[in-house]
Structure 1
């Protein structure tokens, strides 16, 4: 999406940090992505329980 629309984002920031060996930026980007994935998975699980009451 970043390449398609020409907007800078987390992906290009992370790739530039990897190429530049900027370890604090890499660590922050990986941590942010991991926290976002855990939060999204938790929300999906909660919505799934609301939609299908047999799971409770």
Structure 2
């Protein structure tokens, strides 16, 4: 899922290069009944919380 679907990529970038969710952002899929929240991120990976609603 593109976190920023209305953003135009910078020159030389592909459409999904700016798509990641960053710390503090949440993706919610109401149809599946889940929310994925990015809690933190560093140079080694991300910590996320997955919640079933």
Measured against the shorter chain, the TM-score band is under 0.3
Alignment TM-score, normalising by the size of structure 2: 0.23
Task: Tell me which protein shows more helix as a share of its residues.
Answer: 1
Structure possessing the higher radius of gyration over alpha carbons: 1
Write 1 or 2 for the structure with the bigger share of strand. 2
Tell which has more relative contact order, 1 or 2 (C-alpha 8 A, sep 6+).
2
